Amino acid sequence: MLEITFARNAAERYALLRPRGELDAYTVAQFREALAGRADESRLVIDLCEVPFMDSAGLGALIGGIRRIRENEGRVAVFCDGSTLTRLLHTTGFNRIVPVCGALADAVAALDVEPA
């Protein structure tokens, strides 16, 4: 089962999307829909700390959602403190297209860095 929460931090001017549970072929539609609903966010942090597993479907949905946000001039960073998932994001080269940070404060700060 996948749960997804959304919150806005007005003081620091960012939104936070937090999925909890596995991101796989069974839950990817829900995740994709949540990301699509946030395509107009100007500053979004995706918190993957409570995602113990992500397969290629989940990774594809994540990349697609980020692409839509960027098409709308938005900025995205990923917060992930789990070594297994962090390793997946680095091994696949995902961290070359979006900042992957081990601390929420670092992810928020990465939103202010001009994309390469």
Residue 45 near residue 75, CB atoms below 8 Å: no
Give the pLDDT band of residue 30 (cuts 50, 70, 90).
Answer: very high
Domain assignment of residue 116, yes or no? no
φ, ψ of residue 53 to 5 degrees: the values are: -150, 140
Global confidence as pTM: 0.94
pLDDT in tens, 36-51: 999 999 999 999 999 9
Residue 20 placed within a domain: yes
Residue 76 falls inside a structural domain: yes
116, pLDDT greater than 90: no
Band (pLDDT 50/70/90 cuts) for residue 84 is: confident
Tell me the residue length of the chain.
116
Q: Within a domain: residue 13?
A: yes
Count up the domains in the chain and report the number.
Answer: 1
For the CA atoms of 56, 58, 62, 68, what is the dihedral angle to 10 degrees?
90
The pLDDT of residue 104 is: 96
The answer to whether residue 43 is domain-embedded is yes
Tell me which residue range forms the domain holding 75: 3-110
| CATH code of the domain covering residue 75 | 3.30.750.24
- Give me the chain's average pLDDT, please: 94
Q: How confident is the model over 10-19, as a mean pLDDT? A: 94
Question: Does residue 101 belong to any structural domain of this protein?
Answer: yes
